[in-house]
Amino acid sequence: MKTLIKILSLLLFPLLTISAQGLKFYGEFKPGSIVIGSGTNVTEAWLGSDQLQVDGSGTFVFGFDRDASGTHSLKVVYSNGKEEIKKIKLPKREYQIQKLKIADKYVTPPKEELDRIEIESQKMKEARSKVGKVDTALFRSGFIKPAEGRISGLFGSQRILNGVPKNPHNGIDIAADEGDPVYAATDGFVRIAGSNFYYNGNFVLVDHGQGLTSVYLHMSKLNVKTGDFVKKGDKIGEVGSTGRSTSAHLHWGVQWYGKRIDPMSLLGIKF
């Protein structure tokens, strides 16, 4: 009998070890937010039918778009074959309406600029096509606000420009003085450092791994180039008012693949 109990104990030990280590989540389960999962011996993770990237540390990330709703299923698989399934019911999120009066040229671009805008759009698509090729969670270094200043534009707000409804604001605006430093919010590869784009001005798109990206627009100066690797807190440029901008500020946007994410949600994540 004692021998049988000892054998059963040895068989159960790996399961108990994995269960005790547990799976931790960082972030909020709500629209416009990312969630980071981490657990020892995690080998797979699925959000619905979409397989997520999991790195060697057992870390993965997923996000919910600004307009996401309903119930979602997350499945996590461990190295011993054990599975955990979590049902995620998203709450409804309300967004503000922001009415702005600006010069007409900022509402509708001149016809002579349309070819330029299309070329720049293709460059952005090419840069974003590389997103997802890094399966390492580079963002494990944590997140910081990329510039100091007042939040002058909120994520998700419906913008009405000169009485014309436009797309929701897919980032936040940080009002600051021209020349103020802009820092990388977390580690990653610079997928594109663009100069003088019609909409973005001087900007940087950083790939943080596993589909998570951040973009920094309207800068007066760039301190990095395409292909560079940056660490959290590295200076990547300076605040400006280039592109479609009416005053000095930094537009900071975040996406998980094509999902629009509130950048402020990153700042509440503590590992």
Q: Does residue 155 surpass a pLDDT of 90? A: yes
Residue 108 has a pLDDT of 78
Confidence (pLDDT) at 102:
65
Confidence of residue 163 (pLDDT cuts 50, 70, 90): confident
Task: Give the whole-number percent of the chain exceeding pLDDT 70.
Answer: 89
Q: Give SS3 for 155.
A: coil
- CB 192, CB 120: distance < 8 Å: no
pLDDT band (50, 70, 90) for residue 104: low
Q: Which of 10-19, 52-61, 70-79, 132-141 shows the lowest per-residue confidence on average (mean pLDDT)? A: 10-19
Q: What's the pLDDT score for residue 103?
A: 64
Inform me whether the pLDDT recorded for 2 exceeds 60: no
Distance, in Å, from the CA atom of 152 to the CA atom of 157, rounded to the nearest integer, reads 11
User: Among the listed ranges 8-17, 78-87, 95-104, 226-235, which one has the minimum average pLDDT value?
Assistant: 8-17
pLDDT tens digits for 59-97?
999 999 999 999 999 999 999 999 999 999 999 998 888
Helix H or strand E segment including 15: helix 2-21
Who has greater pLDDT, 100 or 247?
Answer: 247
Does residue 11 have a pLDDT over 90? no
- CA–CA dist 30, 69 (Å, integer): 8
- Grade residue 158 by pLDDT with cuts at 50, 70 and 90: confident
Q: In this predicted model, which residue has the larger pLDDT, 106 or 101?
A: 101
Q: What percent of the chain has pLDDT over 90?
A: 79
Q: What is the pLDDT of residue 17?
A: 32
CB atoms near residue 260 (< 10 Å)? 23
Q: Residue 212's pLDDT is what?
A: 98
Tokens of 126: 């090419």
**Quick one: pLDDT band at residue 19, thresholds 50, 70, 90?**
very low
Reply yes or no on whether the pLDDT at 115 is more than 90.
yes
Give the neighbor-by-neighbor strand order of the sheet with 164-168. 97-100, 158-161, 164-168
pLDDT for 246 beyond 50 = yes
Q: Over the chain, what is the mean pLDDT?
A: 90
**Distance between CA 72 and CA 69 in Å, rounded?**
9
Mean pLDDT to the nearest integer, 25-47: 97
For position 105, what pLDDT does the model report? Answer: 62
Go through the domains of the chain in sequence order and give each one's CATH number. Answer: 2-89 (2.60.40), 97-267 (2.70.70.10)
Q: Report the alpha-carbon distance of residue 238 to residue 119 in Å, rounded.
A: 25
Q: Helix (H, G, I), strand (E, B), or coil: what is residue 29?
A: coil
The answer to whether the beta carbons of residues 202 and 239 sit under 8 Å apart is: no
